[in-house]
Amino acid sequence: GPTGPFTYIKSVDSLAVALGVSPEVLVRALELASDPKAYRLTRAIVKRKPRMFTAPKDALLVSIHRRLLDFLRPLNDALHPSCVAYVPERKPIEAAAPHSGQEWTQKLDIADFFPSTTTSRVRETFEHLGAPREVASVLAGLTTYEDALPTGAQTSPLLSNLDLADFDYTVATLAESRGIAYTRYSDDLIF
């Protein structure tokens, strides 16, 4: 799986510098990340099921998410080609094309995709990418709300892909060794 841009980020202060903010601003953003007033909650019906979308609305928190996304965006290049959703330059058709004309296709769904990605999983993902534990904890705190990736946060799609990066590499390798095509489009695993 991918490794990260954290070789020169050894502390929370150096993370603040990398994001172009002061350490005090970063601490304030971390406080906001757990404040319900900093989020917009929207109910919607998706595929006949009620869903709750949670998105940062506080200007500082939105700005920090944007800066984090810019900082992490180069990691898209390290994602396995089977990972299609939320990756610039990759199209939805790429998730379906390897399965076209096959004798059978099986689609599995990861239930509660963003909400099932917990703060501890996000912290572990950042650590796997090379962030020291303290930095990884701050990053996880900034990008999760109520112990999950917020469904409407702009960082959640990339973080979910990074969380499943090793999974995609492992499953794709196993599937290929058995002559089976594998793709993942967000929470849909297609064989």
The closest of 69, 65, 87 to 145, measured between CA atoms, is: 65
Distance CA 147, CA 152 (A): 15
Instruction: Say whether 20 sits in a helix, a strand or coil.
Output: coil
The closest of 88, 129, 124 to 2, measured between CA atoms, is: 129
Sheet with 107-109, edge to edge strand ranges: 107-109, 188-190, 183-185
How does pLDDT run across 100-127, given as a tens digit for each residue? 999 999 999 998 899 999 999 999 999 9
How does pLDDT run across 169-191, given as a tens digit for each residue? 999 999 999 999 999 999 999 99
The CA distances from residue 127 to 46, 133, 138, 169, in Å, are 33, 6, 11, 18
How does pLDDT run across 41-94, given as a tens digit for each residue? 999 887 788 888 999 999 999 999 999 999 999 999 889 999 999 999 999 999
Structure tokens at 131: 């962030």
pLDDT band at 1 (very low <50, low <70, confident <90, very high): very low
How does pLDDT run across 18-32, given as a tens digit for each residue? 999 999 999 999 999
pLDDT band at 3 (very low <50, low <70, confident <90, very high): low
Say what the pLDDT of residue 16 is: 97
Global confidence as pTM: 0.91
